[in-house]
C-alpha cells in the first residue's frame, strides 16, 4: 500500500545580504530530510530592503495577502544599512509589518548548546531553554510613534490583558511539552520583568500568576530582568522556559546567544493562531554576502521549527539530530568570528551527509 506524503505550501522570503544563501541552505537540508515522506512546496516571495529599493515598499499588499495563505513562512534576514527612508531610518525591515499584520504574538527563541561549541562560561552543564518573547505589544509597540523635540522624547510601553494572557499561556503549554530544565529536570516557567520599578511589568507578573495557577504541574519562577541577564550566564542550566515583554526578550535573547556560540546558532519562530514565520535572530551581514562565510545553522534550525509547526515532528527531529551530529563529529566547526571553518556550503553539506551516517 502506497502512502500519500503530507503536502505543505511554504513561502520563502530570501531577504537581503546573506539571507538568500542561508535560505537556500535551509531548503536543501529540509528537502533532503523530507525525502519522499513529506511533500514540501516552496514559493519565493519578494520582500525586504532590496524590494524597498526597487519598488518603494518593503512588502507589497498583494504579497502580504498571499503570505496569509501559506502553511508557514521561512524568512531570511532582511535589511541593508544603505537603504534608508526619507527620514533617515532603515528601510526594508519586516518585523513591524509581519508581526503585527499576521498577529504572530509569540516570538519563540530556543537556546541550545551544541557539542563542540566553545563558550565563555564557568558552568559545564547543558544549556537548553526557550525564551518566549511577547511579540506585538510592550515597548516596541511604540515603533515609529514616539513623540519628542530637541529637548525631550518619549516612547510608550503598553501591555494589554489579552496580549499578556495569550503569551503567558503559550509559555506554560510549551513547558508541558518539554523535558524540563537541564539542571534538575523540573518543568518551569520563569517570569522576567521589572515589576519592582514599573507598573506595566507588575501587571505582567500579576497575569503570569493568574495563568500559572491553572498549571499546577509547572513550577513558577521569577527574575527581575537584570538578575535574569546575570543568571543566563552564571546558571543557564536552571532555565526551561522564560516569558517576558517584547523589549526585554530582544535584549536577553542576545545574552543567551553569546553563551551557545553566537547569533548564528539561534533560530526564532514568530507564531500566532493563524500564521507563523521562522527566521534567524541575526542580521543580514551584507559585508560577507556571497563569500561563503555565513553560518547556516540558525536558518537550518529555523526550518526545523517550521517543520514542527507544520505538524511534522519527525522531520523536525531529523533536522535537529543531523545538525547536532555534524557538530559532534567536527564536520562543522565555528571560528571565533562566527563563520563555519569550512564555509557555508560545506557546513550545509555536512548536515545533509549526517542523514546517512
- Strand ranges (E), 63-178: 72-75, 106-112, 128-134, 147-148, 153-154
Which is catalytic among the residues 103, 155, 194, 222?
A: 194
Decide if pLDDT at 1 tops 50: no
Quick one: which of 333, 304, 328, 331 has its CA closest to 316? 304
Contact (CB, 8 A) for 58 and 88: no
Read off the pLDDT of each residue in 11-25 and give the average, rounded to a whole number.
Answer: 98
Annotated catalytic, 140?
A: yes
Model pLDDT for residues 197-245, shown as the tens digit of each residue? 999 999 999 999 999 999 999 999 999 999 999 999 999 999 999 999 9
Distance, CA of 92 to CA of 54 (rounded, Å): 11
Model pLDDT for residues 321-352, shown as the tens digit of each residue? 999 999 999 999 999 899 999 999 999 999 99
Determine how many CB atoms are found less than 10 A away from the CB of residue 224.
Answer: 16
Quick one: which of 129, 103, 140, 134 has its CA closest to 245? 134
Going from the C-alpha of 30 to that of each of 16, 115, 247, 278, 349, the distances in angstroms are 21, 21, 32, 13, 12
Please give the residue that has the higher pLDDT: either 147 or 175.
Answer: 175
- For the chain, helix, strand, coil in percent to 5 are 40, 20, 40
Model pLDDT for residues 55-105, shown as the tens digit of each residue? 999 999 999 999 999 999 999 999 999 999 887 888 999 988 999 999 999
Q: Is 213 left (phi over 0), alpha (psi -120 to 50) or beta?
A: alpha
Quick one: which of 113, 127, 122, 102 has its CA closest to 181? 127
Give the model's pLDDT for residue 3: 60
Determine how many CB atoms are found less than 10 A away from the CB of residue 118.
Answer: 9
Which is catalytic among the residues 155, 231, 254, 353?
A: 254
Quick one: which of 324, 325, 278, 282 has its CA closest to 305? 278
DSSP classification of residue 105 = -
CATH number of 1-119+261-357: 3.40.718.10
CATH number among 3.40.718.10, 3.40.50.10490, 3.30.1490.20, 3.30.1600.10, domain 124-259: 3.40.718.10
Model pLDDT for residues 264-314, shown as the tens digit of each residue? 999 999 999 999 999 999 999 999 999 999 999 999 999 999 999 999 999
Decide if pLDDT at 120 tops 80: no
Question: Which phi and psi (to 5°) does residue 151 adopt?
Answer: -105, -25
Residues with Cβ within 8 Å of residue 336, at least 6 apart in sequence: none
DSSP classification of residue 337 = T
Locate the domains of the chain by residue range: 1-119+261-357, 124-259
pTM greater than 0.75: yes
Decide if pLDDT at 107 tops 70: yes
Give the model's pLDDT for residue 125: 79
| 323 alpha carbon, distance to own chain's centre | 17
Give the model's pLDDT for residue 122: 66
Give the model's pLDDT for residue 32: 97
* pLDDT tier, 123 (very low <50, low <70, confident <90, very high otherwise): low
Which is catalytic among the residues 37, 209, 226, 273?
A: 226
Which is catalytic among the residues 140, 201, 215, 277?
A: 140
Distance, CA of 172 to CA of 219 (rounded, Å): 9
Annotated catalytic, 254?
A: yes
* pLDDT tier, 260 (very low <50, low <70, confident <90, very high otherwise): very high
Give the model's pLDDT for residue 210: 98
Which is catalytic among the residues 70, 250, 277, 327?
A: 250
Going from the C-alpha of 353 to that of each of 48, 220, 329, the distances in angstroms are 32, 42, 11
Going from the C-alpha of 247 to that of each of 97, 172, 213, 252, 322, the distances in angstroms are 17, 20, 26, 9, 33
Annotated catalytic, 327?
A: no
Half-sphere exposure (CA, 13 Å, Cβ side) for 162?
3
Annotated catalytic, 126?
A: no
Distance, CA of 179 to CA of 186 (rounded, Å): 8
Grid coordinates of 275: 500564521
Give the model's pLDDT for residue 2: 52
Annotated catalytic, 39?
A: no
Distance, CA of 330 to CA of 87 (rounded, Å): 47
Amino acid at each position: 500500500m502506497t502512502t500519500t506524503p503530507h503536502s505543505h505550501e511554504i513561502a520563502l522570503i530570501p531577504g537581503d545580504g546573506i539571507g538568500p544563501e542561508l535560505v537556500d541552505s535551509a531548503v536543501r537540508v529540509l528537502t533532503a530530510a523530507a525525502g519522499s515522506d513529506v511533500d514540501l512546496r516552496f514559493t519565493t516571495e519578494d520582500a525586504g530592503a532590496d524590494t524597498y529599493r526597487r519598488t518603494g515598499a518593503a512588502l507589497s499588499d498583494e504579497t502580504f495577502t498571499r503570505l496569509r495563505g501559506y502553511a508557514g513562512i521561512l524568512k531570511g534576514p532582511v535589511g541593508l544599512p544603505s537603504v534608508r527612508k526619507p527620514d533617515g531610518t532603515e528601510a526594508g525591515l519586516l518585523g513591524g509589518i509581519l508581526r503585527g499584520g499576521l498577529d504572530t504574538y509569540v516570538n519563540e527563541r530556543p537556546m541550545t548548546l551544541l557539542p563542540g561549541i566553545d563558550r565563555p562560561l564557568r558552568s559545564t552543564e547543558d544549556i537548553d531553554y526557550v525564551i518566549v518573547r511577547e511579540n506585538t505589544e510592550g515597548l516596541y509597540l511604540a515603533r515609529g510613534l514616539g513623540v519628542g523635540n530637541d529637548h525631550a522624547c518619549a516612547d510608550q510601553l503598553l501591555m494589554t490583558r489579552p496580549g499578556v494572557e495569550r503569551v503567558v499561556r503559550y509559555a506554560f503549554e510549551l513547558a508541558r511539552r518539554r523535558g524540563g530544565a537541564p539542571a534538575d529536570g523540573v518543568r518551569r516557567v520563569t517570569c522576567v520583568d521589572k515589576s519592582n520599578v514599573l507598573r506595566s511589568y507588575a501587571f505582567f507578573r500579576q497575569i503570569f500568576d493568574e495563568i500559572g495557577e491553572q498549571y499546577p504541574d509547572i513550577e513558577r519562577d521569577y527574575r527581575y530582568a537584570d538578575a535574569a541577564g546575570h543568571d543566563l550566564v552564571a546558571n543557564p542550566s536552571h532555565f526551561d522556559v522564560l516569558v517576558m515583554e517584547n523589549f526585554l526578550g530582544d535584549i536577553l535573547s542576545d545574552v543567551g546567544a553569546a553563551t551557545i556560540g553566537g547569533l548564528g546558532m539561534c533560530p526564532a519562530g514568530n507564531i500566532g493562531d493563524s500564521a507563523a514565520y521562522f527566521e534567524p535572530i541575526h542580521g543580514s551581514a551584507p559585508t560577507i554576502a556571497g563569500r561563503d562565510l555565513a553560518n547556516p545553522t540558525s536558518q537550518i534550525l529555523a526550518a526545523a521549527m517550521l517543520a514542527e509547526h507544520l505538524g511534522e515532528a519527525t522531520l523536525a527531529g531529523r533536522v535537529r539530530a543531523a545538525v547536532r551530529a555534524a557538530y559532534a563529529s567536527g564536520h562543522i566547526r565555528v571560528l571565533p568570528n562566527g563563520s563555519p571553518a569550512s564555509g557555508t556550503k560545506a557546513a550545509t553539506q555536512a548536515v545533509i551527509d549526517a542523514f546517512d551516517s
